[in-house]
Copies of this chain bind each other. A is one copy, B any other.
Amino acid sequence: MRADGQRTRAAILRQAADLATVKGLDGLTISELAAALGMSKSGMYAHFESKEALQLATIDVASRIFDEAVVAPALHVEPGIDRLVAMCDAFFDYLQRRTFPGGCFFVVTALEMGERIGPVKECVQHCHADFVGVLRQNAEVAVGRGQLSATEKPDVLVFELNGVILAAHVHSVLHGKADALDIARQVVRRRFGLTGTSGLV
């Protein structure tokens, strides 16, 4: 019975993460989620005592899915530029596969939570900052190992890569542009000088 309960909870949270990328974390209501899963509202309340508890647990599950899809594959690659490129590519793959129906969970919720206050915003902010931190660490390695100029500022590089990721999201999800992810891959490579002059510039 306990294992059953855990499976149900996991199924609820996976569905909740999907729904949040389409309707937002604020659009995540226990009644709508119950309807989507064919469960009773009281059954849902047995798992989550409040909407906030559901939102926080959903972010936690989404964070594990994100790490597995985007961060983990790049850990097999050498730290520095190679890992940065691998991580961006893994992000574009994850977006292309539509792991979540509305695109990247953290892009959608980062924008949604922008000006809110409270634990849900802090949790999203924390997850986003973790990812930015991993990128930053690799930017520092790239400078430290001489893969990038010593005058290169890791914070600026990470800002730029984050911009490419966000533009890839908006151009592919909002505008449905099929070439957005190819452009994104090329922009990342050119930023690191990995394309010839016959490339994009």
| A interface residue numbers (CB < 8 A to B) | 21-24, 26-27, 101-103, 107-108, 110-116, 124-125, 128-129, 149, 151-153, 155-156, 159-160, 162-167, 169-171, 173-175, 179-180, 183-184, 186-187, 197-198, 200-201
In the complex, the answer to whether B21 meets A24 with C-beta atoms within 8 Å is no
29 residue pairs from A and B, CB less than 8 Å apart: A21-B114, A22-B114, A23-B26, A24-B24, A108-B112, A110-B170, A111-B111, A111-B169, A111-B170, A112-B112, A114-B169, A114-B170, A114-B174, A115-B173, A125-B174, A128-B174, A129-B175, A151-B198, A152-B201, A153-B200, A155-B179, A155-B183, A156-B200, A159-B187, A162-B167, A162-B171, A163-B166, A163-B167, A166-B167
- Which B residues lie within 8 Å of A101 (CB)? 115
B27, B156, B180, B200: the one within 8 Å of A187 (CB):
B156
Q: Which residues of B contact A149 (CB under 8 A)?
A: 201
Complex contact A114–B128 (CB within 8 A): no
User: CB within 8 A of A22: which of B115, B125, B165, B173?
Assistant: B115
Whether the Cβ atoms of B166 and A170 lie closer than 8 Å is yes
A112 cross-chain contacts in B, Cβ below 8 A: 24, 108, 111-112
